[in-house]
Amino acid sequence: MRQYLHIKGKNLWRMCACLIIGIALACCGEEIAGIDQPSTAKAGDILPVTVHVNIPTAGNGGPDYLVLGILVPKGWKIAQNTTITYTSPQGDGTMSLIPDGSLPTKGGGLTWSAYMKRTFGLAGNLIDDMEWVVFQTDKPYAHEGGHTITGDLHIKMKVGADGNNTLVKIGYAITDTGNGLTSDQFGTYYSQKSTDCFEVTGGTGDLIDFCNPQLTVLDPPKSLDNDIVTLTFDGAVVNTPVSAEPEVYLCATAYTSDGKTIVVCEQTAKTLMKQTTATSKRYQITFWPKAFFNTTDAQTIIKMEYHITNKAGTSRVGYGNTDAPFVYTFKCG
Amino acid sequence: MKRIYQIKTLLLVMMVAVLATACKTEKVLPQKEALKDITGSWQVIKATRNGTDLTAIIDFSGFKINFTSTGYALVNKMPFLVEQDGTFALDDPEYPYKITFTAAGKTPVATAFTYPIVNGKRQLSLTFSPGCANNSYVYVLQKTN
């Protein structure tokens, strides 16, 4: 009897050991080991990026294709301006854009782009004018053999195609077509990393800063004077000349296509910015620029300069917490 | 022998008669779908921009679209498919799924729309982009009383 129990215990230990080794082998799916990316580039440049990946193949499965998502400003249109090749001990090849019609199996009906956005969001960026552009390898690989494939993804993408100077944390995510963005008892089958703030210089447009909290943000980020825009002033970012004020107002000047300037700088219900919640220190105003500035049908507003003022109109805050105005250019690109 | 032929002919005639009357064509009563009449004054009861609800943060109460038998008129304008008054057309008066606005002197602008009955009232739901093409707005309109 004692001997029997002893054998049973031995088996238990063996089972445990096997399980631990099994988990260690199968643990963790695709992993981004590192990203080599310059910290700055000129608008319109082709940015060379290398993403180093590790792909453990212990958990049997597949063959699946490796998937790479890149998070960038929409205006860069990298879906049309990117080539990706890869090198690995299992062979080299190219990666191509996954068409919207090809849905991830575990994405609940979302496209790959929407699936990544739901999972990773803006990956540390603050303005929702970015997109995940998703690519996959031309050849699949099997999850077997118990070894780790190491490979490099060589990305060449055009940055700043919209001509805007930009500060942005470019995001990278990898997974495979079989598992998608899931985890199970063997580990996590995806990996996401964002770079530090990357800078595009030499552009002709306004600076768009996705990285740092802004005193004011306009939503939608790209709009025309015939859109309805929401301007948010975030008084919590830094102390400003209007910080102690109970009410803040918008004081703005529109520049029109026919060379006119229209000033709306009154402290009335029309320009009052409402606090989003009682203590948020975030103040919002939503308006239709054409009506706000009362333009004629023939006039188009090209840009708007503005300050945030107190009720008396005596204190005001502008760009970078200075007296210079904030500038917003009405354009779609 | 002749008798057998007669019986065969009789059988044939009977068979043809039976077959001919076997399937009776049902007369289907034409279910006439009511023509969709959108004439009247409509106001926005809900508006979204790129999915964000705008109804509470911008005042749509003054904005109305008056559809008449001859055209439409905009009252207290807001961003819309068209900026001027003009004429409109439904692609199919019984089962419309597209509405075309033609502002005076402008090219026609068409958009898909739905026409559901919610809480016993007809609603018109229109999707369009008055500014940048990437910014999509949905107005849900209901007839004013």
- Give the pLDDT confidence of A246-270 residue by residue, as tens digits: 899 999 999 999 999 999 999 999 9
Angle at A8 between CA A6 and CA A12, to 5 degrees: 115
pLDDT level of residue A76 (50, 70, 90 thresholds): very high
CB spacing of B131 vs A219 below 8 angstroms: no
With a cut of 70, say whether residue A9 has pLDDT above it. Answer: no
pLDDT level of residue A2 (50, 70, 90 thresholds): very low
pLDDT level of residue A192 (50, 70, 90 thresholds): very high
Instruction: Flag whether the pTM goes above 0.90.
Output: no
* Residue where a domain terminates, one of A153, A169, A201: A201
Nearest to B50 by CA among B136, B145, B144: B136
β-strands B40-49, A316-317 pairing: unpaired
The more confident residue out of B122 and A1 is B122
pLDDT at position A93 is 94
pLDDT at position A23 is 42
Alpha helices (runs of H) in B1-145, residue ranges in sequence order: 2-22
Mean pLDDT, residues B84-99:
86
The more confident residue out of A123 and A185 is A123
Q: Assess if residue A195 is contained within a domain.
A: yes
Q: Assess if residue A188 is contained within a domain.
A: yes
pLDDT at position A28 is 53
Nearest to B39 by CA among B84, B107, B87, B92: B87
Chain A residues whose beta carbon lies within 8 Å of the beta carbon of residue B130? 226-227
With a cut of 70, say whether residue B69 has pLDDT above it. Answer: yes
Q: Which of A220, A287, A332 lies at the smallest CB-CB distance from B58?
A: A287
pLDDT at position B4 is 66
Both A158 and A246 in a single domain?
no
pLDDT at position B7 is 79
- In chain B, where the domains are located: 40-143
β-strands B137-143, B40-49 pairing: antiparallel
Selected from 2.40.50, 2.60.120, 2.40.30, 2.40.128, the CATH number assigned to the domain covering B40-143 reads: 2.40.128
Mean pLDDT, residues A287-313:
94
* Residue where a domain terminates, one of A170, A201, A232: A201
Task: Give the span between the Cα atoms of A305 and A325, in whole angstroms.
Answer: 6
User: What total number of domains does chain A contain?
Assistant: 2
CATH code, A291: 2.60.40
Q: Which residue of B has its CA nearest to A230?
A: B57
Both A109 and A178 in a single domain?
yes
With a cut of 60, say whether residue A8 has pLDDT above it. Answer: no
CB spacing of A228 vs B58 below 8 angstroms: yes
pLDDT at position A59 is 63
CA A75 to chain centre: 12
Q: Which residues of B touch A (CB under 8 A)?
A: 49-50, 52, 54, 57-58, 77-79, 83-84, 130-135, 137
Q: What six digits make up the tokens of A107? A: 């994405």
Place of tokens 């215990």: A9
Place of tokens 């054409």: A290
Alpha helices (runs of H) in A109-204, residue ranges in sequence order: 112-120
